[in-house]
Amino acid sequence: MSADATMREIKAVDSENQKNLLSDVWRLNQLRKHLSSEDHPYHKFSTGNWETLEVQPKAKGLDTRHELIKFYNEHYSSNLMHLVVYSKESVDKIQGLVENKFQDIRNTDRNRFRFPGQPCTSEHLQILVRAVPIKQGHKLRIGWPITPSIHHYKEAPGRYISHLIGHESEGSLFYILKTLGWATSLAAGEGDWTLDYSFFEVTVDLTDSGHEHMQDVVGLLFKYINLLQQSGASKWIFDELSAVCEVTFHNQDKVPPIDYVVTVATYMETYPPQDWLVGKSLPSNFSPEIIQMTLNELSPKTVRIFWESKQFEGKTDMVEPWYGTAYSIEKINESIIQDWILSAAEENLHLPTPNVFIPTDLSLKDAQEAKFPVLLRKSSYSTLWYRPDTMFSTPKAFVKIYFNCPHASSSPESEVLTDIFTRLLLDYLNEYAYYAQVAGLDYGINHTESGFEVHRDDFLMNVKLQLLALIAKQPAFHQLRTVEQLGYITALLRRNDFGIHGVQFIIQSSVKGPKYIDLRVESFLQMFESKLYEMTSDQFKNNVNALIDMKLEKHKNLKEESGFYWREISDGTLKFDRREAEVAALRQLTQQELIDFFNENIKAGAPRKKTLSVRVYGSLHAPELKEETSESAEPHIVHIDDIFSFRRSQPLYGSFKGGFVQMKL
């Protein structure tokens, strides 16, 4: 916790906050927190920025680093921690490692933080908040403070209620709103929960017509809640939920070990030991009383309505201090909401019917092992590929169908029409398919670029690029983000544009303009060039072996495996042994060949280097944009002033395979 490291982290936190300032998710979340009791921790600004971590402490005569160390000394105690270690080693060896690495963490017997009481007083309930978002569109968020469902995780009242309010089948709230032309999406669930307080929220994306009928939308929501309250909890609905959760939990895909240990450590904070591996995944105790208790908390007496629309610009009188969200508040009493309920359309709202898609037979069929997909059938209009799952042994299947429509993306008009068609098809299927989705049968319809030209894969060229990106990734992050503090979002990624491979730097900065960032990227490449030459033979081999290990890593689940083979089929390459071929190419690669590739294609001034620099100037850097556009063109740089004219002036380029893919290392 050196002074230098503390200052770098303050700047990183401020940079992260800067990127959130124009995010409606962050803005409206903070507005909800702002409209709560100032005495409650929920009210506070939760992410921090330069003002809270540097300016305000200095004004109070405080040193942030000193306060950080003080906080560490007061609260960093082993009795507040839980450790999960995931390893193939024996239990005895793991225990030895744990004792060696962690036994020196002191136990100061500290008490856990608690935030007693609900954060919203009567002043913050029964309110209608009109807020101005950044994005176009209208949104309605209706929320209530409730008893945290975590105290009744076996009974799962929040899950039960969100399942019904968020249902999308015929007779559901969303179905009615969509039929009336008032909503395009609806979500319901519990959020912002702790052991001491929680909120249940319903979020509706409104159409223009829905915005005009906001009161009717709220009225229909309360009508549906009244229906649930009067109907009481149904055991068959709970049993369906329990059955789906049971199937989902026992047939879940493997997750990366780092994610798994984080999840289990979190569960250890909340659940008793017998549920450390399960958490709230398996609701099993049907309790009509507990479900009814939570349903009764969704009352007009405690409601908080947040209504977002650009149409409120210039009609608000308050500003949230941290994000600058403009808003106004109106108190609404129970009688007003009752009027909305009475005036809402008399629609046929009803509970969902039993779900016929919930599986009852999960037995597996015997299948002969096949290393790669096999072509079962080929005709003049279709091909059928198949590969049985003999590795993961789960009752799952992945089916992908590609319709080759040559004119799907042949013009801007056809691109839009194809997009509209796929959206209409999804919308048409939703009422019926929603039951299947609830049961775990997910599906999706996407339109893709059509047509490709199959070419010979140059595996050696590809692995050179992959290895360079792997070697440069951490130094780029360290230099451009940690040392130079250019921006919180700083990344080096590989990319594939229709078969044309390359690397890209993505940097979002609030401290420097795009031109300066461009120069720093080129400067980094010059610095990285020297690192390549200084790399020892052992370091080179270690990097090659690291990439080989990544390529030979087994697929974690059936979805990942089927996705790999599907890309080969849909791209037309059919190179099912791609990973093995790339590993063979890596084993032949020499350090000098990698350096030659860098010198020819990537380094500053490389003869075959082609660079596209997309510079986006925010309001902070508007003066720089004006100054740079008036300057004479930089050497070897072509300015694109009119993207449409530039595109029309270029020859068409063959699509080698696939679409744009942004790949993570």
Write down all domains in the chain, each with its CATH number in brackets.
3-102 (3.30.830.10), 122-343 (3.30.830.10), 459-663 (3.30.830.10)
Residue 449's pLDDT is 56
What 3-state class would DSSP assign to 217?
helix
Under DSSP, the state recorded for 283 is -
Q: What is the 3-state secondary structure (H, E, C) of 8-43?
A: HHHHHHHHHHHHHCCCHHHHHHHHHHHCCCCCCHHH
Eight-state DSSP code of residue 137: S
Provide the pLDDT for residue 152.
Answer: 97
Report pLDDT for 665.
38
- pLDDT attached to residue 460: 72
Q: Which residues contact 424 (CB under 8 A, 6 or more apart)?
A: none
For residue 360, the tally of other CB atoms under 10 A from its CB is 6
Q: Assess contact for 306 and 33: CB atoms under 8 A.
A: no
Task: Average pLDDT across each block of 10 residues of the chain; the chain has 665 residues. List them in order.
Answer: 89 90 95 96 93 94 94 91 93 93 91 84 97 97 96 97 96 95 96 92 98 97 97 96 92 88 95 95 96 97 98 97 97 94 89 90 81 89 88 84 79 86 87 85 69 43 87 92 89 83 89 90 91 92 93 88 87 86 91 92 87 86 79 74 84 56 40
The closest of 329, 351, 32, 289 to 147, measured between CA atoms, is 289
Give Cβ neighbours of residue 11 (< 8 Å, ≥ 6 apart): 50, 485
Query: Quick one: pLDDT at residue 215?
Result: 97
Any long-range contacts for 53-57 (C-beta under 8 Å, 24+ apart)?
A: 53/10, 53/13, 53/14, 54/10
Give the pLDDT confidence score for residue 451 in this predicted structure. 30
Distances (CA, A) of 74 to 7, 40, 46, 77, 103: 21, 21, 20, 8, 19
Strand order in the sheet with 661-663: 500-508, 489-497, 661-663
Res 459: pLDDT: 66
At position 179, the amino acid (one-letter code) is T
- Rounded CA-CA distance 489/19 in Å is 8
- φ/ψ of residue 495, rounded to 5: -145, 160
The separation between the first and the last C-alpha atoms of the chain, rounded to the nearest angstrom, is: 30
Name 128's Cβ contacts closer than 8 Å, sequence gap at least 6.
Answer: 305, 307, 329, 330, 331, 332
With beta carbons less than 8 A apart as the criterion, state whether 277 and 86 touch.
no
